[in-house]
Every structure is written in C-alpha cells, then in structure tokens.
Amino acid sequence: MAARRAPAIRKNDTVVVIAGREKGKRGKVLFVLPARERVIVEHVNMIKRHQRPTQKLRQGGIIEREAPLHVSNVMVVCGKCDRPTRVGVQVLADGRRARVCRRCREIVDRS
Ligand SMILES: [Zn+2]
C-alpha cells in the first residue's frame, strides 16, 4: 500500500495546469485516477480519438475527449482567494479533518 499522501486533488475541485502544453488552463476535475496519480480535467488536454463505428456508437469518426494529466502538473485553485494553492489539512473541533488553502487558510472542504 502506498504511503499516506498529503490531501489529494478530488473530484469537482477546480485546478489550474502549471506545466506542459496546457499550462494556464483551468477546469473542473471530472475523474481522479489514484493508481496512476492522474486526473481528468474538463476541457483540458483534449485529444482526438479515431473512433470506429460500433454497436453502441454507430457514428464513427474523430471524437474529442480529455486525456489524463499527472497530478504534479496541476494545482488546486482555492474557491475563496481564487489562487492556485497547495492544500493542507486541519483537524476541526469535532475531530473531522478539513482541507484548507495554504494561502488564505480558508477551508476548501470537509471530509
Ligand atoms: Zn485560499
């Protein structure tokens, strides 16, 4: 089992790309692929796939879809201060853990 990491990116987080071809783009996380340490971000890193017609998809041709990005190439954008940030953990009074923005200390969400 992998070592316990700093709180990761989660589905529905807004992230910004900090490296590579898509640098500067923002989007919402649609899927997290923990085993591969990758995320799929809405409208970011689009690739064209050549799709053959199948039973399910009668219309073949070229379809565009998001390709996974490595988590090290994206940063979470804080919903409060609207800046890319690293995310920390804060233990709340009731013992639950919350993810916090390391810039403005606001709670990103609760777990
Ligand atoms: Zn913030």
- pLDDT (tens digit per residue) in 53-82: 888 777 788 889 999 999 999 999 998 999
Whether pLDDT at 91 is above 80: yes
87 near 7, Cβ under 8 Å?
yes
Q: State the pLDDT at residue 55.
A: 82
Residues less than 5 Å from ion ligand 1, measured at CB: 78, 80-81, 101, 103-104
In angstroms, the CA 12 to CA 28 distance is: 5
What does the radius of gyration of the chain's CA atoms come to, in whole angstroms? 17
CA 109 / ligand 1 centre spacing (Å): 12
Q: Which residues contact 33 (CB under 8 A, 6 or more apart)?
A: 39, 40, 68
Whether pLDDT at 7 is above 70: no
Instruction: Look up residue 54 and give its DSSP letter.
Output: -
Give pTM, 2 decimals.
0.82
Q: State the pLDDT at residue 4.
A: 52
Q: State the pLDDT at residue 1.
A: 45
Q: State the pLDDT at residue 5.
A: 53
CA 85 / ligand 1 centre spacing (Å): 7
